[in-house]
Amino acid sequence: MDIKKKILIVDDELFFREVLKDILQERFTIIEGKDGEEAVSLSLKHAPDLIILDVEMPRKNGIEACRILKADPETRKIPIILFTARTKKQDLVIGLKAGADDYITKPVCLPEIIARVDAHLRAKDFYSDLEDKDLRFLLEITESISAIRNPMAILRLIVEKMAGIMDIARCSVISINDKGEVIVKASNDLDCQEELILDLRKYPEIQKSIESKQTVVINDIKNDPLMFSVREQTEKLGYNSIIVIPIIKKESVIGTFFLRTASPNKDGITERIYKLCQLIANISANALENATLFESVQAAQDYFEEMSVRDGLTGLYNHRHFFDRLEEEFSRASRYAVPLSLVFFDLDDFKRINDLYGHTQGDQVLKKIGQLVRSIARESDIPARYGGDEFAIILPNTKEDGAFDLASRIHTAILDCEFENFPGEQITVSSGISTFENKNIQSFDELVRLADDGMYKSKNQGKNMVSQA
């Protein structure tokens, strides 16, 4: 009969001790303490296999207790997990320096606690069933994914490497999206960009792992009671065993991921496969958390950079960015002897719209114009709000006839548009175009002046037209 390992839980809050005891006492012998002094005395008395310490406690706090325990030869090898509030992250740095082996922040995630406890209580011979190539594989995959900042690339690497080293028919990472759909995010038998939505009724082993947030092992697919509801489908399978492991996050929300492998091995999931999968799940959790954090920070940075060059009302590029890009495009056109065109236009009699309906309604017109311009401009074009009711579009690698065609299409679209809250009103624009070709223009400022001149030529000749200076 196996002797239960001992866990010492030290926290001045009885409720927190009871929560931890409730999820751990079935598998472990639980010893309780309520402050740092008891943490030290109970550790010396009972020699626990693991200590869980809250940082903030009366008399002697968790960090002081940790420092004492790690300095004593009798207790220094006992793993210590610190608990602290999210707002006290500076305590974690001090605690880790004091010798703590791990930390978890409050409010706690119970499956995460179980995963961290299991990780620290593995027997010393945990790696004994692994082969030399497995240890090399773990080192290689740890180094590889630590350098990757794309979560999907990490998932693909994991499933490909796992399938390559183990006797398994399929290795997949499954996720649950916001709609509750179960999706295969990466699998060694799927194309890189392919995702597959699963009918959870056909995968009771995944459903059980989702509900319990625990590892599920099926050693005989055809006879395991859990799989009876899908016996018809399992009869056709070329594998005999399945393991599903939750990939538990540490702090950041990375979604719900499960590592699922299926093996044709008639002996079921061997200790080697089980341990490798557990280790890879732990490695994956940390890598995914870091990658997701990096990706979210990068996305936020990209968003704010993009917003800094956009006009808040129309969504088009702003005046400053327009000139930055025009200078770049003019330099490129001059260097490579390719054409560059510019379209300028503004709304005819826009002041009348503002005077009749108010500036708020006038802003809605400008917003609609921005939408129309974005829908007509090509991907390579650079549309901007030049200022007020004036707009400009940079057209790289475009000759005069191309510029005239685009200006005419914008002119027609605005003319035909029915603007909300303006029954019977028809908005028209006056446009001007200019084109750099064969070094006919010496600077981008001159390109702007000529387009502007063309626009005022349209104004002076009766408005509602496209002109060239």
In the prediction, which pLDDT does 161 show? 82
- Look at residue 192 and tell me whether its pLDDT is greater than 70: no
Sheet with 241-247, edge to edge strand ranges: 196-198, 182-187, 170-176, 256-263, 241-247, 216-218
> Is 295 exposed, middle or buried, given 0-12, 13-18 or 19+ CB atoms closer than 10 A?
middle
Measured between alpha carbons, how far is 108 from 81 in angstroms, rounded to an integer? 13
Sheet with 429-436, edge to edge strand ranges: 382-387, 390-396, 340-347, 429-436, 466-468
Got the DSSP string for 272-323? HHHHHHHHHHHHHHHHHHHHHHHHHHHHHHHHHHHHHTB-TTT-SB-HHHHH
In the prediction, which pLDDT does 304 show? 73
Name the residue type at position 302: D
The answer to whether 121 touches 101, Cβ cutoff 8 Å, is: no
The answer to whether 10 touches 62, Cβ cutoff 8 Å, is: yes
The helix or strand, by DSSP H or E, that contains position 400, with its residue range, turns out to be helix 400-416
The backbone torsions φ and ψ at residue 249, rounded to the nearest 5 degrees and listed phi first, read -75, 165
Q: What CA–CA distances, in Å, run from 181 to 177, 197, 230, 432? A: 6, 7, 19, 52
In the prediction, which pLDDT does 1 show? 46
The answer to whether 251 touches 85, Cβ cutoff 8 Å, is: no
What's the pLDDT band for 71 if we cut at 50, 70, 90? very high
What's the pLDDT band for 264 if we cut at 50, 70, 90? confident
Measured between alpha carbons, how far is 286 from 80 in angstroms, rounded to an integer? 19
For the chain, which domains are there?
A: 5-120 (3.40.50.2300), 126-301 (3.30.450.40), 319-468 (3.30.70.270)
Name the residue type at position 101: D
In the prediction, which pLDDT does 50 show? 93
Mean pLDDT computed over 415-432: 84
In the prediction, which pLDDT does 376 show? 93
Measured between alpha carbons, how far is 101 from 94 in angstroms, rounded to an integer? 12
Measured between alpha carbons, how far is 273 from 120 in angstroms, rounded to an integer? 19
Mean pLDDT computed over 28-44: 94
In the prediction, which pLDDT does 126 show? 61
Query: In this predicted model, what pLDDT tens digit does every residue of 298-307 receive, in sequence order?
Result: 666 667 777 7
In the prediction, which pLDDT does 334 show? 92
In the prediction, which pLDDT does 291 show? 56
Q: What CA–CA distances, in Å, run from 364 to 32, 177, 224, 358? A: 66, 36, 64, 10
Please tell me which residue, 239 or 342, carries the higher pLDDT value.
342
Please tell me which residue, 186 or 252, carries the higher pLDDT value.
186
437-450 per-residue burial string, b: 16 or more CB within 10 A, e: under 16: eeeebeebeebbeb
Share above pLDDT 70 across residues of the chain, in percent, rounded to a whole number: 87
- Look at residue 26 and tell me whether its pLDDT is greater than 60: yes
- Look at residue 144 and tell me whether its pLDDT is greater than 90: no
- Look at residue 200 and tell me whether its pLDDT is greater than 50: yes
Query: In this predicted model, what pLDDT tens digit does every residue of 334-359 receive, in sequence order?
Result: 999 999 999 999 999 898 888 888 88
What's the pLDDT band for 257 if we cut at 50, 70, 90? low
What's the pLDDT band for 413 if we cut at 50, 70, 90? very high
What's the pLDDT band for 190 if we cut at 50, 70, 90? confident
- Look at residue 263 and tell me whether its pLDDT is greater than 80: no
Mean pLDDT computed over 237-250: 76
Name the residue type at position 15: F
| Choice among 144-158, 172-186, 371-385, 448-462 with the minimum mean pLDDT | 144-158
Share above pLDDT 90 across residues of the chain, in percent, rounded to a whole number: 36
Please tell me which residue, 43 or 239, carries the higher pLDDT value.
43
In the prediction, which pLDDT does 393 show? 96
